[in-house]
Amino acid sequence: MSKYILLRHRDEPQIHELPVYLQLGGFEAFKKAVTSMQPDEVTEIVKASGLRGRGGAGFPTGLKWSFMDKKNWPHYVVANADESEPGTFKDREIMERNPLQFLEGVALACYAVGANRAYVYLRGEFWEVAHFLDQKIAELEVAGLLGENLFGTQFSLRIYTHLGAGAYICGEETAMLESLEGKLGQPRLRPPFPPSYGLYGKPTVVNNVETLTNLPPIIQNGAGWYRSLGTEKSAGVKIFSLSGQVNKPGNYELPLGTTFRELIYEHGGGICDGHAIKAIMPAGASSSLIVATEQALDTPMDYESVPAVGAQLGSASMIVVDDTVNIAWLLNKTLHFFKHESCGKCTPCREGTYWMMHITDRLVSGKASYEDVVLLQSVASQIKGKCFCALGEFSIEAVLTGIERFEEDFKAVTGGEKVAV
């Protein structure tokens, strides 16, 4: 039996081939659900499993499904494959190497919420992945695993891929729905939320690729089995995308509750060139900066424990920073990204990211005074809580925590020291 639940291709390299996937029990969970379970039963099992969204928010998956408006039809499922967060690269590996388990997960979600159409929304740069998924969807249709009257029942399902244009903002679920409808990819005012007013104004559930890939083993093995993994409140396994100044960057599938220390030193091989670890960004560029103390390193990586050290687990895209990096330089890099990706819909984000980027440009060029650091902190504070969506909030997490927790780095650059850009 594979030691992996999501990255099963590492034990079964040919699992992307339909005959191999079927031989390994593929689509048995979907068949079981469609032929012997009511949709609400599937939802209840997912609720009981404790599965939470793996895209960043960590919202309980089954609970999200239960919000679907059952008086308004048709229903849709959208798989969020717009993997654009710097430091995150888990969903692409799943889609490239274990696509059929992911697609089975999409099918299970559709059955649970009564959807006969599903869309996989991929970032524009994933065009090769989209083509590959189209091939797999066609194979499933030929095999009778997608299409009309599946397994001799009244349930029918079609899955389609849709390419965005590479905009980070379309990872936000309502901006994604706008883009799917052919409109400018900008967030909607909420409420109403997608389960009541989503794609084409109809009830829609949006789930992340990793979230959906968890579904087949949960339905096949049961909620109790899944709850036996991870922690009491953060059940199951998580793919941690490890990058930065570590010897062995990559995706690591581990139970939730694994410590930062185990991930970075046992699996990631420690810090490059024998340097000391300085900081961790546990949720990619949109993360707060954690000071890498002994206590922080021994903190379990789960949805409840990470906030105790001043951050959120998010999508678990772990960026490791060593003692050679000045935090002002790091902020400058992240702010260039957020300035570029701001959709421009709301003033605090559009103007705030612009000014924060230019202030940090001055900092890293050695042309700033400490008054610029105070100004940077002020601009970030004025953005907080005033943006239309989370992008603006994401842009200030590292800024505010970086200045608060790594003040000496900012004193160094405002003392005339130039930082390499």
111-133 pLDDT tens trace: 999 999 999 999 999 999 999 99
Give the residue-averaged pLDDT of 80-108: 97
The Cα 116–Cα 77 span in angstroms is 9
* Cis-peptide into 191, omega within 30 deg: yes
- Residue 421 pLDDT class (50, 70, 90 cuts): very low
The Cα 306–Cα 408 span in angstroms is 24
pLDDT at residue 2 in the model: 65
Give the residue-averaged pLDDT of 276-281: 98
Taking the model in full, what pTM does it have? 0.95
pLDDT at residue 3 in the model: 86
Could you tell me if residue 32 is left (phi over 0), alpha (psi between -120 and 50 degrees) or otherwise beta? alpha
Give the residue-averaged pLDDT of 19-36: 98
- Look at strands 115-122 and 250-255 and give their pairing: unpaired
The CB density around residue 51, as the number of other CB atoms within 10 Å, is 24
The Cα 410–Cα 79 span in angstroms is 41
- 33-91 residue pLDDT tens: 999 999 999 999 999 999 999 988 889 999 999 999 999 999 999 999 999 999 999 99
- Residue 237 pLDDT class (50, 70, 90 cuts): very high
* H or E element, residue 362: helix 347-364
Return the CATH superfamily for domain 8-227. NADH-ubiquinone oxidoreductase 51kDa subunit (3.40.50.11540)
pLDDT at residue 57 in the model: 84
Q: Which tokens hold the place of 118?
A: 């599903």
- 200-210 residue pLDDT tens: 999 999 999 99
Contact 336, 330 (CB under 8 A): no
How far does the chain reach from its first CA to its final CA, in angstroms? Answer: 48
Give the residue-averaged pLDDT of 213-217: 98
Residue 417 has pLDDT above 90, yes or no: no
For the chain, the domains span: 8-227, 237-322, 327-414
CATH class of the structural domain 327-414: mainly alpha
The CATH number of 237-322 is 3.10.20.600
pLDDT at residue 56 in the model: 84
Give the residue-averaged pLDDT of 272-280: 97
User: Do 327-414 and 8-227 have the same topology in CATH?
Assistant: no
pLDDT at residue 415 in the model: 79
Give the residue-averaged pLDDT of 322-327: 97
Dihedral, CA atoms, 328, 419, 333, 285, nearest 10 degrees? Answer: -50
Give the residue-averaged pLDDT of 182-196: 95
> Between vectors from CA 227 to CA 204 and to CA 101, what angle results, nearest 5°?
50
The CB density around residue 70, as the number of other CB atoms within 10 Å, is 11
Mean pLDDT (the chain) is: 95
Could you tell me if residue 37 is left (phi over 0), alpha (psi between -120 and 50 degrees) or otherwise beta? beta
Q: Which tokens hold the place of 361?
A: 């440009």
DSSP state of 1: -
The Cα 231–Cα 300 span in angstroms is 9
Report CA-CA distances (Å) from 96 to 7, 9, 130, 262, 356. 11, 10, 9, 27, 37
- 141-178 residue pLDDT tens: 999 999 999 999 999 999 999 999 989 999 999 999 99
pLDDT at residue 181 in the model: 97
Q: Reduce the DSSP state of residue 244 to 3 states and report it.
A: strand
Residue 349 has pLDDT above 60, yes or no: yes
> Between vectors from CA 239 to CA 233 and to CA 242, what angle results, nearest 5°?
120
Percent of the chain residues topping a pLDDT of 70: 98
Q: Which tokens hold the place of 230?
A: 């991870």
